[in-house]
């Protein structure tokens, strides 16, 4: 079975995209497919798989699978790439349109130069802060902000935010010294997060600039995480490091995103989306 694909990335956070407007895949073992295509040695190589599909509730729909085959509910870099793909491949006719994710609909606006989408702005909706809805075990308080959180004898303080997917944010003095590889996988699989968690370390540079690194649930270290950057800005506001309604530049390993948490509670993200390669691959499972 030959499957046409496009590899795209948002600041180095790369996914294999399948356009299900042209063919069906929903009856296949999508977890295995995600594991197979993501493998850099035996597949194409990516942080996961994203399906772009027709939607009854939005202009276009997306599903995201991490590198380990688990399904995520939201993906900020993925939404920007889906928006670029949808506009450039005439799946939508307008520059502002809606994208269905498993966490609900978001609205994307493409910024076009010579018919090419260079950047995308996304209204990512409102963050979820209630502990039970993140979800995180413990007393169900409205916000988890700088709560003591010990991991393997490291006394940390956690701020937890969901952008439709769960994020654990830890503030550090120096991003280059963050214990990303040591504690990232442990926290990501910690039992206090029944669905696992994406782990972010954040260094506050000023009241409109932060440095950021991430260990993604299901994919490990990636060069960028759009929902993580949104969650990091929300956490920075909740901790008084940044005023609300401020355009914040988030420096990720793969480049910068601009994020704003506005007075109406919505989180806005603006950044690049890029196409790496198109082609087709052979897949022999589940035919
Ligand atoms: N890279 C993404 C997030 C992908 C899903 C995440 N690993 C999860 O399981 O929640 C982004 O850009 O937001």
Q: Is the dihedral of CA 147, 167, 202, 152 positive or negative?
A: positive
- Rounded to 10 deg, the angle between the 226-238 and 76-88 helix axes is 130
CA pair distance 151, 161, nearest whole angstrom: 19
ipTM of model: 0.99
Coil vs helix vs strand at 222: coil
Ligand 1 atom 5, closest CA = 72
Contact call for residues 234 and 127 (beta carbons, < 8 A): yes
pLDDT of residue 273: 98
Ligand 1 and 13: CB distance under 6 A: yes
To test ligand 1's pocket by mutation, which of 49, 72, 224 has the most ligand atoms within 8 angstroms of CB?
72
pLDDT attached to residue 74: 98
How remote is the CA of residue 64 from the centroid of ligand 1, in Å? 8
Contact, 62 vs 82, CB < 8 A? yes
The CA distance from 52 to 24, in Å, is: 11
What is the rounded CA–CA span in Å between residue 231 and residue 235? 6
Looking at domain 2-122+272-282, its CATH class is: alpha beta
CATH fold of 131-265: Diaminopimelate Epimerase; Chain A, domain 1 (3.10.310)
pLDDT of residue 126: 98
- The reported pLDDT for the residue numbered 286 is 59
Residues in the chain: 287
Relative to the CA of 70, which ligand 1 atom is closest? 9
Q: Is 265 annotated as a binding residue?
A: no
pLDDT value at position 113? Answer: 97
Q: Is 80 exposed, middle or buried (0-12, 13-18, 19+ CB in 10 A)?
A: buried
Query: How far is the centre of ligand 1, averaged over its atoms, from the C-alpha of 114 (Å)?
Result: 30
Q: H-type helices in the chain, by residue range?
A: 30-38, 76-88, 180-188, 226-238
Sites in the chain below the pLDDT cut of 50: 287
Contacts of 268 (CB under 8 A, 6+ apart): 121, 122, 123, 124, 259, 260, 261, 262
User: Of 11, 30, 168, 225, which residue is the catalytic one?
Assistant: 225
Residue 198 in marked binding region: yes
- Full DSSP string of 93-117: SSSEEEEEETTEEEEEEEEEETTEE
> Are 103 and 62 spatial neighbours (Cβ–Cβ below 8 Å)?
no
Domain ranges in the chain are 2-122+272-282, 131-265
Model confidence over 185-241: pLDDT tens digits? 999 999 999 999 999 999 999 999 999 999 999 999 999 999 999 999 999 999 999
Question: Distance (Å, rounded) from C-alpha 143 to C-alpha 147?
Answer: 10
* 230 in active site: no
Note whether 2-122+272-282 and 131-265 share their fold. yes
DSSP 128: B
């Amino acid at each position: 079975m030959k499957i046409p694909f496009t590899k795209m990335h948002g600041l180095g956070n790369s996914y294999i995209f399948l356009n299900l407007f042209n063919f069906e895949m929903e009856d296949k073992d999508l977890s295995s497919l995600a594991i197979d295509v993501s493998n850099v040695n035996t597949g194409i190589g990516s942080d996961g798989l994203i399906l772009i599909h027709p939607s009854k509730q939005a202009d276009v729909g997306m599903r995201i699978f991490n590198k380990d085959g688990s399904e995520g509910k939201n993906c900020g870099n993925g939404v920007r790439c889906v928006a670029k793909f949808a506009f450039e491949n005439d799946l939508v006719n307008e520059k502002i349109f809606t994208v269905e994710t498993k966490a609900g609909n978001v609205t994307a606006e493409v910024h076009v130069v010579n018919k090419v989408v260079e950047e995308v702005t996304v209204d990512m909706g409102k963050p979820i802060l209630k502990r039970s809805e993140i979800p995180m075990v413990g007393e169900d308080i409205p916000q988890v902000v700088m709560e003591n959180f010990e991991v393997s004898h490291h006394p940390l303080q956690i701020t937890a935010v969901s952008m439709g997917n769960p994020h654990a944010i830890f503030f550090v003095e120096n991003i280059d010294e963050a214990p990303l590889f040591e504690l990232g996988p442990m926290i990501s699989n910690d039992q206090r997060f029944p669905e696992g968690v994406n782990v972010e370390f954040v260094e506050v540079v000023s009241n409109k600039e932060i440095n950021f690194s991430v260990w993604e649930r299901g994919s490990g270290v990636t060069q960028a995480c759009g929902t993580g950057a949104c969650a990091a800005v929300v956490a920075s506001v909740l901790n008084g490091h940044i005023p609300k309604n401020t355009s914040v530049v988030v420096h990720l390993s793969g480049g910068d995103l601009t994020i704003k948490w506005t007075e109406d509670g919505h989180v806005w993200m603006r950044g690049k989306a890029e196409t790496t390669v198109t082609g087709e691959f052979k897949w022999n499972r589940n035919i």
